[in-house]
Every structure is written in C-alpha cells, then in structure tokens.
C-alpha cells in the first residue's frame, strides 16, 4: 500500500515534469494511423501502472440508442458522433462541451437495419465531416460546429433510394472525403463516393456491383463492372444486388490505393438474387481502387456467391509481415465468414487464411486461391433443407474493430460463435422491407432447456491471433457474444469493453485480466488513447446498440440486460471520479391480455412481425435493446397502437409509420401475435422473479 502511494507520488512528479515541452499525442484518424492498426505507442498506462487507472471524467449523452463511434482527438479536442449522428466537440482534458450539432435524422432511422448508430466522424485541418443516416455528408466548422456545406449521396431518382442509410465513418483521403452506405437488407446497390473536402464537389464514384445490363453509370467503376457482369445472372438489379460498403474504407498513401470492404448480397438468397449462378462480384470482397480516379486495381472475394450475409466490411489492418523470409506489405481482415485472411495489399494475392471461430459452412480455404471449400449443405436454397450454420449472419467477427500490436505480433479479435438456421423464405419478398430471401423466424416461447441449449452454443471471445502462423495464441472467454472493439498499446495492454457492462484491460502477451471498470452498460465501441500535457488518457463511448441487441431477443440477454446510460468515459492514472449509481428500470412482467388471442390470427401476424418489427423489437418479441419490449406494453392493445404503427404518432421518437406497408387487418394480426407472445411468457405465471430478470 505504502509502495503504491510512493509510486503514485513519483508518477505525479514525473507527470508534472514531463508536462513541459512533451508533445501531445493525438488520435487523428479512425484507425489511429494509415495502418489502421489501433496500436498506440503510448505507455504511461502499462502493465505496471494500470492498477492506478481511474475515471478522469465522463460526459452524458442523453440517449439509450447505442454507441459505435471511434472518437477522433486533435489538438486537445475530442470529436465524435452519438446515436442519430449527433456530433459532439468536447475538451479532451476535462469533458467540457465546446459544441454540439444535430443533423435531425430521427425520421430516417427506420432505414437502418441495426439501429440509428454511427461509427464516427472524420476531422481535417479545419472541418469535421459527418455522414448522416439519411444519406447526407455534412461539413462542419471545426471551431463552431456550423454547417459549411452538405451533399446528398443518394440520388432521389434511384428507385431504391429509400432503402439506403449511412452508419459508417467518412474517411479523409488526400483532399477528399470518402463515404459508402448500407441497406442491402432492404434492396440496394452499393457504392463509394469521393467528394472534395473544400466544397463537397463529387470527384468519383465506384459501384461495387453491376447495374442493369446495357445501362452504364458513367462512373469510375464502369469498365470493371462490364468485365465482371458475367458473374451475375437473373434480374439482380431489381433488388440492387447489394455489396454495400457500410464500414471500412482505408487508404494506403504509399500505394495511392483505397481499400473498400463490401457487404453481402441483396437479397441474401443467391437463388433469388442471381438465379443461383455466378460469384457475384464484388460482393463480400476487398476491392482496391486508385485514390485519385476511383478506378479498379484489384479485388479479393472472401465469400463467392454470398448467401449468408457474410460481409467483408470488417476492419482491415495494413502492416508489413515477414513471410517465408520476405517482407510483404499485407492487409489483414477477419470478415464475418469466420476466416482470418492475410493478403498482399500491392496485388491482392491471397497469402494465407484459417478459421478463427467455429465455421460449419466450409472445410477451410483453397491453399492457393483462398476460395472457401464449401459444404454442399450450406446452399440451403439448392438443398431445400434449412441448415443450422456457424457463423450466423452476425458473423464470427463483426464491425467492432480488431487491433494489431507489432510488439507482440498478435491481432486481437472480438469474436464469437453464434449459429443460425438458414433456409429459403417461402413468402414473397417485399423490396424495402426486410428483403433477405431467408426465412426469418418471429420466434416463440423458449423453455429453460431450450434456452440453455441455445446459450451453450453461443460464445463470445477475445482472441489473440498470430497472423504469420495463422494460429490462436490465447483466448479469453466472455460472458456473451458481441463485445467491444479493441485498442492495443505499447504499454503491453489490450483494452476492450464487453456485453457484460465492463471495460477491461488485458495483458497483451498472456490475456490475463489486469483491470476492469463497471460501465453500467454494454460496450461495443472501440477505446482510443491520447496524451495531453504529458498525461495519457483512454476514452471510450459506452452504450449498447447495433444489430445483435435489437434482433437477438432472449439470446441477446445472455449477459443480462446491457442497456444503461450512454456516456463518453475517459480514464487516466490519477482519475478518481465515480459514476452516479444506476439501477435498471424494472417494468412489470404482466401479460397485456388476460386470455390468449386467436391462434389463427396470431399465426398470420408472425411473418409480419418478422418482416417489419423484429429488427428493432427483437426475436420472439423479447427486447434486449433500448426499444420497448412489446410483450410488456399495454399500448399494444389500445387504440394508440393504430395511431403509432399506421398513423406515425411516434415518428419523432424514431418509430416510423407503416401506413404504406400494413393495412388494418394486418395490424390486427400483428397485435394478436404480440399478445400471444405476451401471454406465453407472462400470462399463466405473471411477475415471477425469472420473468423480471430478463428486463
């Protein structure tokens, strides 16, 4: 104890002495640097000192809709986007608000498959660039937050325009800002656009999949798409085809190349999308383009003919690795399909790949091409048999970024084993609704044994992976799948939040847990670190959201209720702040009906629920996200339900109107299905402690 006291004193002295003239250390771009390795050279917080780590300050965000952003820190100011793309500029020393900008996108929130989340902003010398859910890129004055210019990246004449959204962070490449979009679950065609930072003038656009044959776009992608259009069949353009670049876009200044990670097919079902034929380039691929012209350089397709939402949008790390005696410029990615890839980023050549989680759809990769050796059972639309497959559409690794430490030579991956049934949808697909061509189960009551079986197959890990040997070095098992993005530091640390409401510091060599903090909410966003006046800080946006908590239902409650106050939490070695105490609100677990509804009507409501409601209110009507748990909402049985679902009474709270999609009879069926689920869970045995536990 005394020793620790002296050590702290010593540290304070050393902090004071090095504050003079020591250089500040920013977090200037999304992945920290052009390698996007999220490895910081800072080491004041290290394996020895981490026990002194404490909360320096925090900033309340007044939303419960989820946080995914990587904050940017430049010249003493933190810039980040919260839910609904609300942008904050905050003093990085003390958390004082400098400005706040709200782009007013509430009405557009239903366009996003996975909540009104935002993965961050880009910051130039004098501007903050944010991309909004409704498709705009907005340039803000760095000092004041005032709008300088804005462009709409989605052409209103595009028949699929309403299906696009943006959740990704824009990237600055030279004097341009680059942005993609999402929406492949609703019917959309992916593209990335480059705009001049100065005035928003368009420089180039690269479409990731072909459009209708014989109709060139007059864009940078025309030539290459004409060449790969023979990898498509059928009338794919009606659904858009997919390939949306909704997250990762990276720039290698030395090669003058931009690497685009592309998403899944739209719809997922390859039979429906492309008559079950062709690889469908450039779905689920990494595509390299020239930074100045946007013209194609190379591509590598991780999942040919994707049929499972196996996106390759996940973060990429650019580094040099010594492979068979030669230094190679490599690109590392762990996409949703469960394989870890090492590619040559000059040529796109496949170097190696191995599965880092349970993969049941392929027997590995072809050693020379990297093409997956698929199992025949995986193509559910051909076999006519649904198959329970690992990974699920959520992926072995999703958007929470992995990090790479050149000191340990290890990549730290927030990974999971979650399976799901893939089967062809029987009902007709509605473009603009949840249009996957895969049967979506609305879900029903689960007995304890089924719940246990489900949970036993579902696991979350932090995996330390050696990219040279393609082997796991250690893994830490988490309480539940879907955990936070990762930061690695020269202090020998790996730092990540998790679904079980903690922020944890691990030893980068061994994976031993060195320190943890109760964040009062699940954490998905990756931590960053910076130093100011000689003091190192760690900052992380805490808040639970995104696809898994919204769609997962009871499965997403494996670590308990992860919903809590959304905040920016900032730590330092002398931090001594405490969070106010927090008790999650308990809603009574009472059935909203006293007798079970007509099962005929409820059965009609189930597919409607799956198509229109499940994405936010959860499988089985069990809400594990911040949206109301409809099983517990008496509004469902009142007249207000009509006003909300059809009338749009809660549009300004983020609940859209379904007037164009549902009629009065369908609304009654939907109501019956929700009532049935409420009765199944609470009707016969109301308010047992177990029922309450879920909340």
Residues identified as active-site: 309
Phi and psi at residue 691, in whole multiples of 5°?
-60, -40
CB 264, min distance to Ca ion, A: 4
Query: If you search the block for the tokens 């590619």, which residue do you land on?
Result: 343
Nearest approach in angstroms of CB 610 to Ca ion is 16
| Cα gap 21→638, rounded to integer Å | 66
Binding mask 229-268 for Ca ion (x = CB under 5 A): -----------------------------------x----
Judged by beta carbon, residue 335 or residue 564, the one nearer Ca ion is 335
Residue 464 tokens, joined: 């330390």
Strand arrangement, sheet containing 471-478: 403-405, 410-417, 459-466, 471-478
**What residues contact residue 441 under an 8 Å CB cut-off, 6+ apart?**
421, 610, 619
In the complex with Ca ion, the residue whose CB is nearer, 334 or 589, is 334
Shortest Cβ distance from residue 541 to Ca ion (Å)? Answer: 23
Close Cβ partners of 261 (under 8 Å, ≥ 6 residues apart): 245, 247, 248, 249, 285, 286, 311, 312, 313, 314, 315, 316, 333, 335
- Binding positions for Ca ion, 174-213, rule CB under 5 A: none
Q: Return the number of the residue (350 or 548) whose C-beta is nearest Ca ion.
A: 548
List, as one string, the DSSP characters of 508-522.
TTT--EEEEEE-SS-
Cα–Cα distance measured from residue 414 to residue 465, given in angstroms and rounded to the nearest whole number: 11
Binding to Ca ion, residues 123-152 (CB under 5 A): none
Strand partners, 39: 488
Chain centre distance of CA 389? 21
We find the least distance from the C-beta atom of residue 228 to Ca ion, in angstroms, to be 21
CB 607 within 8 A of CB 442: yes
Q: Return the SS3 of 409.
A: coil
Q: Which of 51-59, 276-284, 302-310, 522-530 is the region at the interface with Ca ion (rule: CB under 5 A)? A: 302-310
- Per-residue burial over 623-634, b if 16 or more Cβ lie within 10 Å, else e, is bbbbbbbbbbbe
- Closer residue to Ca ion (CB): 195 or 381: 381
State how far the alpha carbon of 203 is from the alpha carbons of 179, 225, 261, 571, in Å. Answer: 12, 19, 20, 41
Which residues have C-beta within 8 Å of that of residue 249, sequence separation ≥ 6? 168, 171, 178, 179, 180, 192, 258, 259, 260, 261
Find the length of the chain: 695
Q: Which is nearer to Ca ion, 264 or 355 (CB)?
A: 264
Nearer to Ca ion, 64 or 309 (CB): 309
Token pair belonging to 682: 């609470």
Q: Which is nearer to Ca ion, 329 or 441 (CB)?
A: 441
Cα 159 to chain centroid, rounded: 26
- Give the separation between CA 541 and CA 543, rounded to whole angstroms: 6
Among the residue ranges 15-23, 306-314, 441-449, 527-535, the one whose residues contact Ca ion (CB under 5 A): 306-314
Q: Using the minimum distance from each CB to Ca ion, give the nearer residue, 264 or 274.
A: 264
Size of the site for Ca ion (CB under 5 A): 2
Q: Tell me: does residue 269 bind Ca ion (CB under 5 A).
A: no
Q: How far apart are CA 294 and CA 220, in angstroms?
A: 6
Q: Which is nearer to Ca ion, 210 or 242 (CB)?
A: 242
Two structure tokens written together for 580: 């106010």
Quick one: 395 or 492, whose CB is closer to Ca ion?
A: 395
Q: Which of 308, 341, 632, 291 is nearest to 465 (CA)?
A: 341
Pick from 334, 376, 380, 330: which is nearest to 357 by CA?
334
Please report how close the Cβ of residue 482 comes to Ca ion at its closest, in angstroms: 15
Least distance between Ca ion and beta carbon 658 (Å) = 22
Instruction: Quote the least distance from Cβ 57 to Ca ion, whole Å.
Output: 36
Closest approach, Cβ 367 to Ca ion, in A, equals 29
Q: What is the nearest approach in angstroms of Ca ion to the Cβ of residue 514?
A: 35
Report angle CA 457, 436, 525 to the nearest 5 degrees: 55
Stretch that binds Ca ion, among 33-41, 221-229, 305-313, 470-478 (CB under 5 A): 305-313
With CB under 5 A as the contact rule, the residue among 64, 134, 247, 309 that binds Ca ion is 309
Provide the β-strand partners of residue 389: 420
Shortest separation between residue 17's beta carbon and Ca ion, angstroms: 52
Nearer to Ca ion, 29 or 249 (CB): 249
Q: How far is the CB of 547 from Ca ion (least distance, A)?
A: 8
Q: Which residues contact 144 (CB under 8 A, 6 or more apart)?
A: 99
Q: Which stretch binds Ca ion (CB under 5 A): 63-71, 76-84, 303-311, 347-355?
A: 303-311
Which CA distances in Å does 691 have to 588, 590, 622, 686, 694?
A: 9, 9, 11, 8, 6
Instruction: Name the 3-class secondary structure at 235.
Output: coil
Residues that bind Ca ion (CB under 5 A): 264, 309
């Amino acid at each position: 104890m005394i020793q620790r006291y002296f050590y702290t004193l010593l540290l304070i002295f050393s902090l004071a002495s090095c504050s003079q003239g020591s250089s500040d250390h920013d977090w200037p771009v999304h992945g920290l640097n052009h390698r996007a390795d999220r490895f910081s050279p800072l080491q004041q917080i290290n394996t020895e000192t981490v026990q002194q780590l404490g909360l320096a300050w925090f900033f309340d965000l007044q939303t419960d809709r989820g946080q995914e952003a990587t904050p940017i820190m430049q010249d003493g100011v933190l810039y980040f986007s919260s839910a609904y793309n609300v942008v904050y500029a905050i003093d990085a020393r003390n958390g004082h608000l400098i400005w706040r900008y709200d782009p007013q996108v509430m009405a557009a929130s239903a366009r996003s498959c996975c909540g009104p989340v935002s993965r961050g902003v880009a910051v130039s010398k004098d501007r903050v660039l944010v991309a909004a859910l409704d498709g705009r890129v907005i340039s803000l004055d760095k000092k004041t937050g005032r709008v300088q210019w804005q462009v709409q990246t989605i052409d209103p004449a595009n028949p699929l325009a309403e299906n696009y959204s943006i959740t990704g962070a824009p990237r600055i490449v030279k004097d341009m800002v680059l942005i993609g979009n999402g929406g492949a679950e609703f019917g959309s065609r992916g593209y990335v656009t480059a705009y001049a930072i100065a005035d928003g003038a368009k420089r180039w656009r690269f479409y990731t999949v072909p459009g209708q044959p014989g109709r060139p776009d007059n864009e940078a992608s025309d030539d290459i798409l004409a060449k790969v259009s023979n990898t498509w069949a059928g009338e794919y353009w009606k659904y858009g085809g997919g390939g949306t670049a909704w997250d990762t876009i990276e720039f290698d200044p030395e090669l003058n190349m931009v690497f685009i990670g592309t998403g899944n097919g739209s719809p997922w079902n390859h039979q429906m999308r492309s008559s079950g034929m062709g690889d469908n380039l450039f779905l689920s691929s990494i595509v390299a383009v020239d930074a100045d012209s946007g013209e194609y350089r190379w591509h590598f397709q991780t999942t040919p003919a994707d049929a499972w939402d196996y996106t390759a949008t996940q973060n990429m790390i650019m580094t040099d690795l010594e492979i068979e005696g030669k230094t190679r410029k490599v690109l590392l990615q762990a996409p949703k399909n469960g394989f870890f890839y090492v590619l040559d980023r000059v040529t796109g050549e496949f170097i190696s790949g191995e599965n880092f989680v349970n993969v049941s759809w392929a027997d590995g990769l072809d050693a020379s091409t990297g093409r997956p050796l698929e199992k025949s059972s995986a193509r559910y639309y051909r076999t006519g048999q649904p198959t329970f497959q690992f990974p699920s559409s959520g992926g072995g690794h999703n958007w929470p970024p992995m990090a790479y430490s050149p000191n340990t030579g290890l990549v730290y991956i927030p990974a999971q084993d979650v399976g799901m049934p893939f089967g062809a949808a029987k009902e007709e697909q509605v473009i603009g609704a949840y249009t996957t061509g895969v049967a979506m189960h609305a879900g029903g009551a689960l007995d304890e044994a089924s719940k246990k079986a489900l949970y036993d197959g579902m696991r979350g890990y932090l995996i330390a992976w050696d990219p040279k040997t393609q082997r796991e070095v250690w893994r830490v098992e988490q309480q539940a799948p879907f955990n936070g993005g990762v930061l690695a530091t020269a202090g020998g640390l790996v730092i990540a939040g998790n679904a079980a409401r903690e922020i944890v510091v691990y030893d980068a060599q061994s994976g031993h847990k060195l320190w943890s903090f109760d964040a009062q909410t699940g954490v998905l966003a990756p931590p960053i670190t910076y130093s100011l006046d000689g003091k190192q800080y760690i900052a992380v946006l805490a808040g639970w959201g995104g696809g898994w908590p919204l769609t997962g239902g009871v499965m997403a409650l494996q670590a308990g209720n992860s919903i809590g106050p959304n905040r920016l939490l900032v730590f330092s070695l002398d931090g001594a702040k405490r969070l106010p105490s927090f008790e999650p609100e308990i809603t009574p677990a009472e059935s909203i009906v006293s007798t079970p509804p007509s099962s005929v009507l409820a059965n009609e409501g189930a597919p409607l629920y799956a198509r229109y409601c499940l994405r936010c209110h959860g499988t089985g009507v069990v809400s594990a996200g911040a949206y109301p748990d409809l099983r517990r909402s008496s509004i469902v049985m009142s007249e207000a339900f009509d006003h909300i679902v059809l009338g749009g009474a809660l549009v300004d709270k983020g609940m859209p109107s379904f007037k164009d999609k549902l009629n009065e009879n369908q609304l009654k069926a939907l109501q019956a299905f929700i009532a049935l689920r409420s009765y199944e869970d609470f009707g016969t045995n109301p308010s047992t402690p177990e029922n309450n536990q879920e909340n």
